[in-house]
Amino acid sequence: MNDAATDTHCPYCALQCGMGLRRTDGPVPVAVVERPGFPVNRGALCGKGANAAAVLAPGARLTTPLVRTGGELRPASWDEALDRIAGAVTATAAAHGRDAVGVFGGGGLTNEKAYLLGKFARVVLGTSAIDYNGRFCMSSAAAGGIRAFGLDRGLPFPVEDIPRAGCVILVGGNPAETMPPFVRYLRELQENGGKLVVVDPRRTRTAELADLHLAPRPGTDLALALGMLHLVVAEGRTDEAFIAGRTTGWAETRAAAMAHWPEHVESVTGVPLPHLREAVRLFCEAGTGMVLTARGPEQQAKGTDTVSAWINLCLATGNAGRLHAGYGCLTGQGNGQGGREHGQKADQLPGYRKLDDPAARAHVAAVWGVDPDALPAPGRSAYELLDSLGTDVRTLLLAGSNPVVSAPRSAHVTERLRSLDFLAVSDVVLSETAALADVVLPVTQWAEETGTMTNLEGRVILRRKAAEAPAGVRSDLEVLHALAGRLGHGEGFPTEPEKAFDELRRASAGGAADYAGISYERIEAEEGVFWPCPSADHPGTPRLFLDRFATPDGRARFTAVHHRPAGEEPDEEYPVRLTTGRVLAQYQSGAQTRRVAELNAAAPGAFVELHPRLAERLGVRDGEQVAVVSRRGRTVTPARLTTAIRPDTVFMPFHWPGAANANVHTNPALDPVSRMPEFKACAVRLERCEGGG
């Protein structure tokens, strides 16, 4: 690698691949180069990462504040923009109370930004109305992990352990398109003699790699896991010594699994019984097994129970709390892990502390220099917060999120955003959400600032500044500092990332996600440090649960769960299941990747994927325009015919706005524990558009 390059990390997914940035003399100030020394990706980058610098181009991003005057956004000074925000916050709180001011954050914010955003909401605004788009990412996996193990970390082991397992069951994830450098670990697993089972209603690029592909109907992953556990018990494949020595709750869980007999599970899921038996055989005869879940099973109104069912499978077979075995979640957003550990979620304080825990409130309040009783109570989850806009929440401060495209029932959420008295958005680009705002603040991008992220392994890494931001652009930390000062809190909101991180360390000390022993120097020297790391002489914790689980008695907890239908099942009017996901060349709402020519050339627009048998019934040909209609809206997009999807299911990617926005259809039915909306299963019908293509 060129010695002049700055070591940093990709701005996109939770793999947080290492990359280098070398300064250039062109309009794009840096060029991406390989960084082979970082252990997670070993130099490999996907197309998104390789083209990440393109969004730094002057024409791609915001470079001045914008304020709305006469219905139009116009350039403004920073003082005018910040004064407008402070004035709106003050007026709303005076007229409607502190909880009428809301904050909505993002899973791409650094730990420092997430930490200070949560502190700003609770100390400066005094509001309970804060949550973030990471609620839509892995909240069900988090809830299931805490329920079983007493602690949530995406992967409780480093990615390097995955190829050493005997069998990996990957449920509802497509890393070949969402995080391509991760696929090397699946290939190495197979090269080592291990087996890969992929569970997905589509034969994705990842499923094509599998030794066995199970294609259940969307919304039936819970039944599938219960059917597999039934077979484990019936075939005498349980690890009774592990169950007796390291778990509780098995009797109830066993009874629940035995109520889901395999023939019934076959009828519910559509997975043939021989395939179900083969999956059990591969997993149980492998020696060590892992189950990795992603958004497929998690983004359901029963996502937490579905995760619990897969964890139960691991516990019953002794595949937890030991080397090269266990349950893990493939976190999606770049800082989906760290973003919720330090205070963006409605119910959490830094260090993964609970806001309703008196001891947690006392500890964090002491760090912040406030009375614990002054901290607000837990607030609403992300969708519930968005649904309350314009009624309970009248002013919203939004950072690094684009719910106009990414939220479930997105047309309704857009109406709620429009109904606000005041909306302020901080972002690097003029997203579809920012275009609705009363004030838009241009903030620095990843290459223009230093800060920490926490990847899917729980490895805290350091993004380093490699280029100067354009004149007129400020960091989110500077924005929070300036707003706090205008609102009467001149201290406690540092603009230097390392100072913010040092305070975060103190606030997290003693919590579940303890960063107290992590410093910028250690991260640089060690290529990242795994939390928990409670002291400077602690080595960090790459592997959790080897000696005990993080429960009061040290035992993992089984949870008895039962299958139930999706929040919305097909019927005569809406006879087809819709599921959503991502494509290789785009990321999340597309706000940044849709501004990169190379990525748009690879994935220029939305589509609906359907099986040729379904297309024949509808009289639809490949490439023709098709209307997708649900109880929540209508979209029109080209048909893409493929045998890689079930005939009773269609698929739409969710990266595009407007007439092709897949999230117009998604159902905001919420999981009762995680409050995760049901993105992955809803009922639609397809209509051939007049004139065809």
pLDDT tens-digit map of 447-466: 999 999 999 999 999 999 99
Domain co-membership, 395 together with 500: yes
Distance CA 336, CA 670 (A): 19
Residue type, 457: E
Domain co-membership, 54 together with 76: no
Stretch 480-484: mean pLDDT, rounded?
98
Residue 672: the pLDDT is 97
Domain co-membership, 114 together with 172: no
Does 693 reside within a domain? no
Instruction: Show the domain range for 307.
Output: 140-329
Does 554 reside within a domain? no
pLDDT-based confidence at residue 60 (cuts at 50, 70, 90): confident
- Residues 224, 192, 279, CA angle at the centre, nearest 5°? 15
Stretch 335-348: mean pLDDT, rounded?
91
The rounded percent of the chain whose pLDDT value lies above 90 is: 95
**Which residues are paired to 610 by β-bridges?**
641
Residue 472: the pLDDT is 93
Domain co-membership, 247 together with 376: no
Q: Are 10 and 108 in contact (CB under 8 A)?
A: no
Does 570 reside within a domain? no
Stretch 266-276: mean pLDDT, rounded?
98
Residue 468: the pLDDT is 93
pTM for this model (two decimals): 0.96
Q: Which residue has the higher pLDDT, 626 or 689?
A: 626
Domain co-membership, 53 together with 20: yes
Q: What confidence tens digit (pLDDT) does each residue in 409-444 have?
A: 999 999 999 999 999 999 999 999 999 999 999 999
Residue 691: the pLDDT is 60
**309, 329, 349 — which closes off a domain?**
329
Residue (of 193, 120, 148) closest to 312 by Cα position: 148
Residue 340: the pLDDT is 86
Q: What confidence tens digit (pLDDT) does each residue in 186-221 have?
A: 999 999 999 999 999 999 999 999 999 999 999 999
Residue 173: the pLDDT is 96
- Looking up residue 404, the CATH number of its domain turns out to be 3.40.50.740
Residue 229: the pLDDT is 98
Domain co-membership, 526 together with 590: no
Kindly report the average pLDDT of the chain as a whole number: 96
pLDDT at 693 over 80: no
DSSP for 328-350 reads EE---STTHHHHHHTT-STTEET
Total number of domains constituting the chain: 4
Does 24 reside within a domain? yes
**283, 311, 329 — which closes off a domain?**
329
Residue 2: the pLDDT is 43
Domain co-membership, 357 together with 503: yes
**Which residues are paired to 463 by β-bridges?**
451
Domain co-membership, 358 together with 496: yes
For the chain, how many residues are written? 693
pLDDT at 152 over 90: yes
**Contacts of 452 by beta carbon, 8 Å cutoff, 6+ apart:** 110, 111, 112, 338, 460, 461, 462, 463, 497, 501, 520, 523
pLDDT at 363 over 50: yes
Strands (E), 330-418: 348-349, 353-354, 395-399
Does 262 reside within a domain? yes
Instruction: List the end-to-end C-alpha distance of the chain, in Å, as a whole number.
Output: 48
pLDDT at 3 over 60: no
Distance CA 593, CA 586 (A): 6
pLDDT at 690 over 80: no
Does 175 reside within a domain? yes
Stretch 598-607: mean pLDDT, rounded?
93
Q: Are 185 and 158 in contact (CB under 8 A)?
A: no
pLDDT at 27 over 90: no
Domain co-membership, 490 together with 586: no
Does 557 reside within a domain? no
Domain co-membership, 453 together with 587: no
Domain co-membership, 491 together with 353: yes
Q: Are 275 and 212 in contact (CB under 8 A)?
A: yes
pLDDT-based confidence at residue 59 (cuts at 50, 70, 90): confident
pLDDT-based confidence at residue 4 (cuts at 50, 70, 90): confident
Domain co-membership, 591 together with 677: yes
- Exposure of 281 by Cβ count < 10 A (0-12 exposed, 13-18 middle, 19+ buried)? middle
Q: Is the dihedral of CA 615, 617, 618, 620 positive or negative?
A: positive
**35, 60, 85 — which closes off a domain?**
60
Stretch 224-243: mean pLDDT, rounded?
98
Stretch 234-262: mean pLDDT, rounded?
98
Distance CA 399, CA 479 (A): 11
- Looking up residue 655, the CATH number of its domain turns out to be 2.40.40.20
Does 563 reside within a domain? no
Q: Which residue has the higher pLDDT, 4 or 588?
A: 588
Distance CA 8, CA 6 (A): 6
